[in-house]
Amino acid sequence: MATEQTETEQVQTVQAAPVQAEAVQAEASESTDAAASAPLSAEDLRARLEAILMVVDEPQGIVALATALGAPVKAVRAAVRSLVADYDGEGGGVRRGFELREVGGGWRIYVRAEHDEIVRDFVLTQNPSRLSQAALETLAVIAYKQPISRGAIASIRAVNVDSVVRTLLGRGLITEAFADSETGAIHYATTDLLLTQLGINSLDELPPISPLLADGSEGFDDLR
């Protein structure tokens, strides 16, 4: 009958269905890729950059930031300059209590120098919580091995020490001594506040650590 599909027409219809579905999926994928590759507006780029800078523990280079944001280096550099100006109160804005500062070839948000004392007082007196065991161990590593980088501390302790180092910095017990000229890694050292807390006049008065270590006479298997 004229109204019935022939066997050949039915086969062609069945074969055409997957092809049409693939075409629709391909078109949707292209639309998604196009949206993902669309350049960020200056405002969005600045907001994302600010979000990253709020959580980093060490200064970040422009290239590293551009890689993380998936944005051109030139655009990220302009966004950094914009944030610096914004925090500094340029253009009639409010000068913030923190600043975006370039240190060791990278950028990071810091408390402004004029507010160091009040922040230190808050951390030490208004928020006096005890140091955790992890913080004490990390502080000991820094005290005996200073100046030392975060990576070296993590290698010695065999754990991530980012949050612990941040805590010790906030307590004023350690400070950023310098940044490596080649790698940009921050090296940490203890402060005079630690000496005060320990009741000693210099690091030379720290107890020798060698008597506390095993001499190897009975092996080191139990120390693994």
Token pair, residue 30, equals 């292209």
CA–CA distance, 95 with 170 (Å, rounded to integer): 22
CA–CA distance, 65 with 159 (Å, rounded to integer): 25
Predicted pLDDT at 223: 42
CA–CA distance, 137 with 153 (Å, rounded to integer): 10
Query: Tens-digit pLDDT profile for the chain (224 aa)?
Result: 444 555 555 555 555 555 555 655 655 555 444 444 567 899 999 999 999 999 887 789 999 999 999 999 999 999 999 999 999 999 888 999 999 998 878 899 988 989 988 887 777 676 666 788 889 999 999 999 999 999 999 999 888 898 899 889 888 899 999 988 888 889 999 998 888 778 788 888 888 876 655 554 554 454 43
Predicted pLDDT at 78: 95
pTM of the model: 0.52
Is residue 102 within 8 A of residue 80, CB to CB? The reply is no
All domains of the chain, ordered by start, with CATH? 42-111 (1.10.10.10), 118-212 (1.10.10.10)
Per-position DSSP letters for 14-57, written without gaps between them:
HHHHHHHHHHHHHHHHHHHHHHHHSPPPHHHHHHHHHHHHTT-S
Look-up of token digits 């208004």: 126
**Cα atoms found within 13 Å of the Cα of residue 5, Cβ hemisphere only:** 8
Is residue 152 within 8 A of residue 145, CB to CB? The reply is yes
Of 82, 16, 1, 91, nearest to 44 by C-alpha is 82
